[in-house]
Amino acid sequence: MDARICLTSALGIEAGDAHVIVNAGGIVTEDVIRSLLLSQALLGTNEVMIIQHSRCGLQGSTEQEMKDSFERETGSRPPFEIAAFADLEDNLRTSMRRG
């Protein structure tokens, strides 16, 4: 979700070469898994990469702190998990286990 990163340039691929699923934090969620399963079953995808990056906006805060911040800013608390994390490498390992 980071606008600073152009995935096609970073990976050396062109538009149409890969199915790219992008979300905040590079978190493997149920919807990401659903999309990957469809990509594999219906479109023949046979490789998966999880790419996360340093200086992620979700890194360095707790779930509670993030939800408190949203509540202060918007007046309501998100009903879903934000998936804030402290350590980037631990977060990547967690996402890999989910898949």
Burial (CB count <10 Å: 0-12, 13-18, 19+), residue 63:
middle
Beta bridge partners of 59: 85
pTM for the structure as a whole: 0.79
Which pLDDT score, from 0 to 100, does residue 15 have?
A: 87
Residue 85 CB burial class (10 angstroms; 0-12, 13-18, ≥19):
buried
Amino acid of residue 55: R
pLDDT per residue over 38-63, tens digit each?
A: 999 999 999 999 998 888 889 999 99
How would DSSP label each residue in 54-67? TT-TTBTS-HHHHH
Q: Taking the domains of the chain in order of start, what are their residue ranges?
A: 7-98
One digit per residue, the tens of pLDDT, for the chain of length 99 reads 788 888 889 999 998 899 989 999 999 999 999 999 999 999 999 999 999 888 888 999 999 999 999 999 999 999 999 999 999 999 999 999 987
Range 7-98 classified under CATH 3.40.109.10: no
